[in-house]
């Protein structure tokens, strides 16, 4: 703080002129540049207004986030306007242009909010990629990899701020370095090559260590045979020209569509079999970054698809772990069928993962996403959720509609048959009519005509199988006598017909026959129309029944989906809270078992249940309802709208995650802008104060400078007191716990190591997995799941330390920071009050006093923001520190891992276990202390960094206070002002108009507020009215004590 230079020259006191006869009682007005009466009057009118209006302050205290962000944009425009005259004058000698321009640039850099990183984790098959694609409103954007999930790289997706139409979608593919690839090749070759120096027979088993290693090596070196690979080493392989051209580079892709970018990415991340045996890139990728214009990311959220940290490549594992450390939010995905059954919320992807969240203090950042809600069996769900009665009623109505539909279909079929009969009759009648009409024509030409034969004119009727079947049944049912009677009638009819055909027809006979047929045609046509109307109505009824049935089926499914969603949501919330409670209770028991009270809750678990965000989503249904997946037969029964899929709610959740950071950034920027504007006003409008006598000038300046020295000492002491409190907390809460737990870890170490080589039924490892774990420095994920020898050795400490670590960093240290800020505010407020009351000439500058009154409020607000600015720094460093134990253990165990790897031949496994046990027995005496000491050094370094940050903040504050209070309460004497360079006076003159109207630029964003609406914490600052009252009292006191003011004389 003392090292920060103050850019103000020491003022020289005015001495009385002996020729004028004026003594110490004279007071003279000292103008800066214009000594005429008109100039003084104009300059006096240019002083800042003292009416108390401050739109920026109103905006910060009462505006919404959109208005605050609009205010930031207005502020950035204002800063650009302020920079313009400063940039023109920065090369001129003896001006403060460079200093003000630097402050403006620093403030401009603070307008960009910090990144809000959201890590998305989940087991294979949880549907992470589908959810992220739906979140982005893209059918396919996130690249997929055909290999196992643990081999994929992290994928970061953020908003694309480019306005280039050719770059609507962008991607950056970062490849690992040559050193990283060489290291991974050594491990892969160790997994692949057996004790005889040849490729293991297990290489064709994709689930084995050798199979995974072979797939990676073969992907990058497709033309190498097994013999070539067995005879190669990591250095030779990593030096291949094509591979070297990729390693350590970044490939950039630009596209106008998401589909094109997806295809471009697939070229690098896809692991499908290729017939052309070209090199594949996916094993070499470190991280993929995608930039798109998804509305869900428009507020600054960055989504990171984290495939897990169990990766044989150290670079990719480090990237995943780095994201985990910096995540503002953590989304845990699980298929809804398994989310509750597997107790995902409670088990939280494993005990070590859950404990790491406790160390990092990120439990409150967790969001659960249950996926695949469209995958459901109503019968199972309705029974288990006690909604069977409601669903049964739906099924009853559906069955009724089924029966209705079947009945209608039978009626429609019957009427269609009748309609066909009528059509046949009409067709037959039409032919008869044509035949009789032909007879009439022939008769009119003089021919003799006879009645036509009925059978000869008939066409063979087409009948359906049903009617044929009925007809056959009717014939079969006739008795022999019935058949004989019908046969006789038919013979008689044919005989009569034959007789009629021999009698010539008259015109009257034909006309009569035609008239009869017309009547028949009319009646048949009417009957047909009636039938068609009835059929049409029945078809509509059947269609409506089908529609109603589908609607009821969808409603029944929706009832089951929503019922399961709510059940899952409640279960996950409660499981999550109980998981935290169990972890807290374990910590309490480990810390002091005698004092443990199971009925005493250390946290409000009901609040945890209430506040945990849980979303039950269907990505496929959302995509289908959004008009995508046109080529996929996706069933969307049970989802009436996109909101039913809960993807829109998840999108809003992503937007809201950034609100806190954006709010803090906007408020901090506007507060610092206000401070800067006030300081610049005090500088630009300085030069017309009334100078008091030498005696009072000396007293005022001596008092103010003495008070500044005390302020500096008090602030410095506040930092030292905070550091003392912080280190005491760490000694009490952490370091003493280290000392208590190290013996427990040492006592358990040998038994832990022996457990690795025990029988599989007792939790031991297969010899090949044991050796593979040694080959991967003790941390390996094989067929039996992930194992970390180093973490298991340290587990007696890490399990019991979690509670103390959390209390230290999540409770004690934040409390200490709050106490520190409270102390600083009291110190600054006391300084302000003393200066206003103690400087005798303060009454000469009421406008300046009002500005200082505003400034002190802004300083208090800025002090309140210090914890927010410190929080990310503390979080990052403590997360780095709590990850510092295991690397030290791994380093201490490395000689044993190397020795085990070298074992070959008969008795290998026995010798490996013997080597491991002997090494652990020796290393246990030192490695746990070394690990704790290493972390202690990191934590101490964190304390030093925090102290430096505090000193920097308070140094900046002290500089502003020193500059503003000296300029306002002491000012510059006439001799100094007369010597102010013309360039400086000109610059101040150019800045004044911009500064005068600066605050009014924010007027449109402000809602008028009363003084009572502005609340100041604990009265530390006091209201603006209280400060003004203090100024008024000081002015009144000065009016009775200060010597009379005489008419200003020109310099």
Whether pLDDT at 784 is above 80: no
d(C-alpha 851, C-alpha 54), whole Å: 11
pLDDT at 476: 45
Going from the C-alpha of 491 to that of each of 479, 497, 1002, the distances in angstroms are 19, 10, 111
| pLDDT for position 271 | 64
How far apart CA 972 and CA 976 sit, in angstroms, is 6
Yes or no: say if 56 and 857 are a contact pair by the CB < 8 Å rule: no
- CA–CA separation, 612 vs 614, rounded Å? 6
Reply yes or no on whether the pLDDT at 81 is more than 70: yes
Asked whether the predicted pLDDT for residue 468 surpasses 60, the reply is no
Of 307, 332, 302, the residue nearest 614 (C-alpha): 332
Q: Which of 272, 294, 327 is the last residue before a domain boundary? A: 327
Beta 169-175 vs 250-255: how paired, if at all? antiparallel
Strands 116-122 and 785-788, how do they pair? unpaired
Pairing of strands 301-305, 154-159: antiparallel
Above 80 in pLDDT, residue 107? yes
The alpha carbon torsion through 102, 718, 852, 32 (nearest 10 deg) reads -50
Cα angle, residue 327 at apex, residues 124 and 263 outer, rounded to 5°: 50
Structure tokens at 883: 């990850």
Query: Residue 1040: how many CA atoms within 13 Å on its side-chain side?
Result: 5
Structural domain includes residue 92: no
Report the residue count for the chain: 1051
Asked which of 352-361, 435-444, 750-759, 989-998 is least confident by mean pLDDT, the reply is 352-361
Question: Lowest mean pLDDT: which of 21-30, 81-90, 231-240, 638-647?
Answer: 21-30
Does residue 328 contact residue 305 with C-beta atoms inside 8 Å?
no
Residue 945 to residue 947: CA distance in whole angstroms: 5
| pLDDT (0 to 100) of residue 349 | 56
pLDDT in tens, 681-726: 888 876 544 445 556 667 888 888 899 999 999 999 999 999 999 9
Torsion sign across C-alpha atoms 974, 977, 982, 986: negative
Q: b/e string for 560-583 if b means 16 or more Cβ within 10 A?
A: bbbbbbebbbebbbbbbbbbbbeb
The C-alpha atoms of residue 217 and residue 280 are separated, in whole angstroms, by 10
Predicted confidence at residue 331, as pLDDT, reads 92
- Residue 343 is predicted with a pLDDT of 60
What is the pLDDT of the chain when averaged over all its residues? 78
Q: What's the pLDDT at 893?
A: 95
Identify the domain containing residue 146 by its residue range: 137-327
Give the 3-state secondary structure of residue 757: coil
Write down the number of H helices and E strands in the chain. 38, 13
Alpha helices in 776-845 (DSSP H): 789-807, 813-838
Q: How many CA atoms lie within 13 A of 623 on its CB side?
A: 26
* Contact of 244 with 238, CB cutoff 8 Å: yes
**CA-to-CA dists, residue 899 to 501, 774, 930, angstroms:** 120, 9, 22
Listed residues 270, 292, 327: the one ending a domain: 327
843-863: pLDDT as tens digits: 667 777 887 888 888 888 888
Give the residue among 563, 567, 569, 573 at the shortest CA–CA distance from 649: 569
398 confidence band (pLDDT: 50, 70, 90): confident
Pairing mode of beta strands 329-335, 366-371:
parallel
- pLDDT single digits (tens) 277-326: 688 888 899 899 999 999 999 888 999 998 754 445 566 667 777 787 77
Do the Cβ atoms of 158 and 302 come closer than 8 Å? yes
Q: Which residue, 111, 110, 116, is CA-closest to 157?
A: 116
Residue 963 has pLDDT above 90, yes or no: no
| Top-ranked range on mean pLDDT: pick from 166-175, 359-368, 419-428, 456-465 | 166-175
Q: Do the domain assignments include residue 158?
A: yes
Q: What is the DSSP string of 711-738?
A: HHHHHHHHHHHHHHHHHHHHIIIIIHHH
Q: Which tokens belong to 384?
A: 């288990």
Domain count, the chain: 2
Per the domain annotation, does 412 fall within a domain? no
d(CA 856, CA 834): 13
Residue pointed to by tokens 């709050």: 818
Percent of the chain with pLDDT over 70: 78
d(CA 291, CA 157): 6
* Cα gap 399→412, rounded to integer Å: 20
| Element (DSSP H or E) covering residue 752 | helix 736-756
pLDDT at 57: 84
Report if residue 449 sits inside a domain: no
244 with 178: CB under 8 angstroms?
yes
Assigned domain for 804 exists:
yes
Q: How far apart are CA 246 and CA 237, in angstroms?
A: 13
More confident residue, 523 or 588: 523
Last residue of a domain, one of 327, 343, 360: 327
Give the C-alpha separation, 519 to 266, whole Å: 76
Distance CA 352, CA 787 (A): 11
Q: Is-contact 146 304, C-beta < 8 A? A: no
Is residue 774 a part of any domain in this protein? yes
Report how far apart, in Å, the C-alpha atoms of 426 and of each of 454, 513, 750, 835 are.
15, 16, 102, 115
- Classify the phi-psi angles of 255: left when phi > 0, otherwise alpha if psi is within -120 to 50, otherwise beta: beta
pLDDT at 646: 92
d(CA 219, CA 229): 12
**Spatial CB neighbours of 129, under 8 Å, sequence gap ≥ 6:** 142, 144, 305
What would the two tokens of residue 271 be? 């692991």
Q: In this structure, what DSSP letter does residue 966 have? A: I
The whole-angstrom separation of Cα 628 and Cα 672 is 48
In a domain, 360, yes or no: no
Report d(CA 403, CA 524) in Å as an integer: 32
- For range 153-176, the mean pLDDT: 91
**pTM score, whole prediction:** 0.74
Domain assignment present for 321: yes
What is the per-residue pLDDT across 472-517, written as a single tens digit (0 to 9) for each? 444 344 444 444 444 455 455 455 555 555 688 888 888 888 888 8
Pairing mode, if any, of strands 329-335 and 116-122? Answer: parallel
790, with CB counted inside 10 A (0-12, 13-18, 19+), is: buried
Computed on alpha carbons and rounded to an integer, the radius of gyration of the chain in Å comes to 45
């Amino acid at each position: 703080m003392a090292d920060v230079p103050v850019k103000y020259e020491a003022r020289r006191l005015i001495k009385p002129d002996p020729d004028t006869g004026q003594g110490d009682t004279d007071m003279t007005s000292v103008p800066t540049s214009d000594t005429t009466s008109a100039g003084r009057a104009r300059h006096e009118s240019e002083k800042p207004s003292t009416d108390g209006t401050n739109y920026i302050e109103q905006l910060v205290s009462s505006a919404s986030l959109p208005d605050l962000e609009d205010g930031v944009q207005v502020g950035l425009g204002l800063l650009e306007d302020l920079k313009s005259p400063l940039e023109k004058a920065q090369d001129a000698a003896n001006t403060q242009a460079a200093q003000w321009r630097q402050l403006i640039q620093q403030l401009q850099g603070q307008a960009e909010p910090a990144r809000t990183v959201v890590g998305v984790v989940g087991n294979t098959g949880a549907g992470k990629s589908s959810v992220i694609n739906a979140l982005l409103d893209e059918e396919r954007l996130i690249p997929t990899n055909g290999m196992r999930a643990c081999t994929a790289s992290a994928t970061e997706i953020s908003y694309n701020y480019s306005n280039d139409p050719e770059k609507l979608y962008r991607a950056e593919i970062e490849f690992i370095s040559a050193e990283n690839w060489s290291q991974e090749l050594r491990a892969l070759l160790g997994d692949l090559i057996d004790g005889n120096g040849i490729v293991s027979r297990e290489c064709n088993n994709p689930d084995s260590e050798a199979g995974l290693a072979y797939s990676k090596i073969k992907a990058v070196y497709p033309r190498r045979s097994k013999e070539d690979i067995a005879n190669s080493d990591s250095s030779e392989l990593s030096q291949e020209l094509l591979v070297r051209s990729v390693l350590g580079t970044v490939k950039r892709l630009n596209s106008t569509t998401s589909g094109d970018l997806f295809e471009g990415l697939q070229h690098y991340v896809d692991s499908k079999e290729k017939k052309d045996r070209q090199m594949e890139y996916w094993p070499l990728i470190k991280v993929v970054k995608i930039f798109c214009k998804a509305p869900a990311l428009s507020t600054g959220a960055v989504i990171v698809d984290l495939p897990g940290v169990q990766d044989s490549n150290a670079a990719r594992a480090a990237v995943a772990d780095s994201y985990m450390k910096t995540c503002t939010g953590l989304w845990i995905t699980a298929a809804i069928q398994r989310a509750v059954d597997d107790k995902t919320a409670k088990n939280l992807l494993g005990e070590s993962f859950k404990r790491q969240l406790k160390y990092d203090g990120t439990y409150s950042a967790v969001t659960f996403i249950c996926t695949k809600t469209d995958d459901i069996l109503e019968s199972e769900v309705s029974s288990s959720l006690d909604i069977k009665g409601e669903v049964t009623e739906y099924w009853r109505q559906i069955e009724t509609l089924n029966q209705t539909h079947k009945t209608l279909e039978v009626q429609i079929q019957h009427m269609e048959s009748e309609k066909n009969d009528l059509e046949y009759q009409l067709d037959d009648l039409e032919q008869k009519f044509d035949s009789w009409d032909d007879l009439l024509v022939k008769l009119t030409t003089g021919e003799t005509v006879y009645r036509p034969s009925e059978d000869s004119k008939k066409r063979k009727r087409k009948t359906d199988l049903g009617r044929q079947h009925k007809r056959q049944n009717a014939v079969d049912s006739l008795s022999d006598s019935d058949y004989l009677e019908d046969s006789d009638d038919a013979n008689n009819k044919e005989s009569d017909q034959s007789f009629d055909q021999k009698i010539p027809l008259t015109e009257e006979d034909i006309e009569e026959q035609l008239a009869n047929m017309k009547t028949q045609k009319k009646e048949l046509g009417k009957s047909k129309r009636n039938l068609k109307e009835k059929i049409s109505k029945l078809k509509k009824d059947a269609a409506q029944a089908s529609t109603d049935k589908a609607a009821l089926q969808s409603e029944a499914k929706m009832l089951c989906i929503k019922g399961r969603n709510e059940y899952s949501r409640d279960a996950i919330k409660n499981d999550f809270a109980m998981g935290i409670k169990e972890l807290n209770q374990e910590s309490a028991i480990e810390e002091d078992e005698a004092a443990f009270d199971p009925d005493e809750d250390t946290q409000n678990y009901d609040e945890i249940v209430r506040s945990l965000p849980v979303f039950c989503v269907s990505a496929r249904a959302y995509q289908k309802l959004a008009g995508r997946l046109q080529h996929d037969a996706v069933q969307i029964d049970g989802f009436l709208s996109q909101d039913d899929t809960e993807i829109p709610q998840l999108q809003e959740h992503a937007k809201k995650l950034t609100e806190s950071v954006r709010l803090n950034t906007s408020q901090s920027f506007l507060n610092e802008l206000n401070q800067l504007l006030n300081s610049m006003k005090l500088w630009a409008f300085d030069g017309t104060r009334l100078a008091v006598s030498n005696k009072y000038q000396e007293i005022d300046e001596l008092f103010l400078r003495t008070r500044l020295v005390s302020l500096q000492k008090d602030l410095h002491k506040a930092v030292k007191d905070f550091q003392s409190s912080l280190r005491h907390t760490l000694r009490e809460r952490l370091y003493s716990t280290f000392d208590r737990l190290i013996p427990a870890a040492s006592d358990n170490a040998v038994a832990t190591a022996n457990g690795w080589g025990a029988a599989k039924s007792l939790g031991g490892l297969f010899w090949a997995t044991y050796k593979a774990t040694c080959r991967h420095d003790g941390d390996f994920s094989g067929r039996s799941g992930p194992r970390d020898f180093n973490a298991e050795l340290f587990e007696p400490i890490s399990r019991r330390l979690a509670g103390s670590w959390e209390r230290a960093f999540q409770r004690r240290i934040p409390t200490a920071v709050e106490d520190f800020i409270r102390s600083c505010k009291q110190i600054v407020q006391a300084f302000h009050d003393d200066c206003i009351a103690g400087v005798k000439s303060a009454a000469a500058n009421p406008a300046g006093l009002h500005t200082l009154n505003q400034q002190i409020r802004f300083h208090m607000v800025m002090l309140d923001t210090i914890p927010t600015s410190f929080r990310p720094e503390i979080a990052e460093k403590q997360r780095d520190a709590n990850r510092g134990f295991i690397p030290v253990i791994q380093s201490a165990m490395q000689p044993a891992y190397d020795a085990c790897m070298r074992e070959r031949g008969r008795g290998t496994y026995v010798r490996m276990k013997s080597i491991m046990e002997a090494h652990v027995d020796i290393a246990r005496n030192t490695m746990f202390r070394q690990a704790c000491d290493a972390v202690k050094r990191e934590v101490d370094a964190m304390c030093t960094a925090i102290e430096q940050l505090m000193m920097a903040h308070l140094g900046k504050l002290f500089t502003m206070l020193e500059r503003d209070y000296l300029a306002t309460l002491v000012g510059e004497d006439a001799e100094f002002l007369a010597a102010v360079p013309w360039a400086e006076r000109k610059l101040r003159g150019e800045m004044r108009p911009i500064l005068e109207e600066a605050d009014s630029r924010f007027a449109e964003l402000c809602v008028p507020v009363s003084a009572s609406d502005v609340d100041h914490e604990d009265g530390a600052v006091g209201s603006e009215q209280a400060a003004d009252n203090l100024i008024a009292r000081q002015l009144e006191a000065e009016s009775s004590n200060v010597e009379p003011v005489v008419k200003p004389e020109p310099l």
